[in-house]
Chain A
Amino acid sequence: MKAELEKRIVKGPDGIEFEVDPLQDYYCQEAPTVMPAAYSKIVEGFFNWARAESLWILGFGTGCGAIEMRPLMTPRFDAYRYGVQWRPTPRQANLFIISGYLSVKTLKRAIRSYEQMQNPKYVIGLGSCTINGGMYWDSYNTLKRLDYYLPVDLYIAGCMPRPEALLQGFEDLKEIIRAGKGEGANQYAQYFDWYKMNQKQVIHDWDMPDYNW
């Protein structure tokens, strides 16, 4: 564990000493809970329509697929016309595109970013390497199967997928959300222990709290 994460006594500017335990004090310790659907089917349908029409993507390029994000944002492909836009912070985003292979070191950051996103949230796995390892099937540092570590709503195959494939992927994700099947966040909450077990299996120096939104 890193020194800055250990329990320590800190002297404040006013001279009073107090104890700080970063893992306890800075993060939420409670596991996420399953969010039930709205009381009425019509209201839930309306919510799902609204969710589908504003996909805000977390601008975290975890792998080489991030290079096709730039053309998507610009006039030729212009994903903004579909209500898709990129946000710099997880708090404002509801769609996490895992853009390619996830190395173990990035997985740690990706978990943190995912948990910091607000419900409802969705994950797209982009590229062959999120599906079964792709090119890096025998690499010692990349994950072979993303859905064991984060709940994936949709995969886009290819190495790397073209921007048109991504646009089609957004449309398909909208269909899924409108049909009320975009339940990744609830799945994560329901099988939280299983996800944590898998994550801890590959991240050997686990120095995060279990849930850190």
Chain B
Amino acid sequence: MRELYAKLNRLFPLGELTERRSNLAFITLTAEYLRPVLLHLRDREGFSHLVLLTAVDWLEEGQFQLSYLLSDRANGRDIGLRLMLPRDGASMESIHDLWPTAATYQRELREMFGIDFPGSPRINEEFILEGWTDIPPYRRDFDTLKFAQENFVARPGRETWDPARHMKDQLYPDGA
């Protein structure tokens, strides 16, 4: 993967490389080079399969990380492209014209994280949720337990413990 990174780095300014396994590496890059890098990887390097497109919410840093994972079946290797977006008004270029299936991922990200992909087909249609009025649920600042307690009626009698504390009291009273 290092040769590939060196080759790519000659063409595009790239960020850091994280090698996870011999056949899986993650590369950080900036938004304006995403499309050329994707095109290069797809057409020249054989990474023709878009495995997934998802986001990670780094709330403390005020950023969304977009992860594009591509796979090269012939050589059995994968590459992940990391992209940092500011959390406020997050918006990214759509890649549905490169992989039509990306439109589905982008619809999900739009709904679950609130990241906009202008121009992606049916981007503003409801995908999973229906009549959702709160903040997008996969964001870190959305508290699912609080939402559930406020919206749904709970049956009394259910006892909930903090598992770590409960197990410590029950199993490791000496404090292991």
* A interface residues, Cβ below 8 angstroms from B: 104-105, 108, 131-133, 137-145, 148, 198, 201-206
Contacts and interface: CB of A to CB of B under 8 A. Distances in A.
Nearest to A144: B152
A137 B160 contact: yes
- Interface SS of A by simple majority: loop
The 7 closest A-B pairs by CB, nearest first: A205-B131, A204-B131, A132-B155, A138-B145, A140-B144, A140-B147, A105-B130
Contacts of B134: 140
B131 A140 contact: no
18 contacts: A132-B154, A132-B158, A138-B144, A138-B145, A140-B134, A140-B144, A140-B147, A140-B151, A144-B152, A148-B153, A198-B153, A201-B151, A202-B151, A202-B152, A204-B131, A204-B132, A205-B131, A206-B131
Interface of B, secondary structure class, is loop
Contact of B152 (A105, A108, A145, A205): A145
A108 B129 CA distance: 12
Contacts of B137: 140-141
A131 B157 CA distance: 11
Nearest to B144: A140
Contacts of B171: none
Interface string B89-131: 0000000000000000000000000000000000000000111
Interface string B71-100: 000000000000000000000000000000
Contacts of A205: 130-131
Contact of B154 (A141, A144, A198): A144
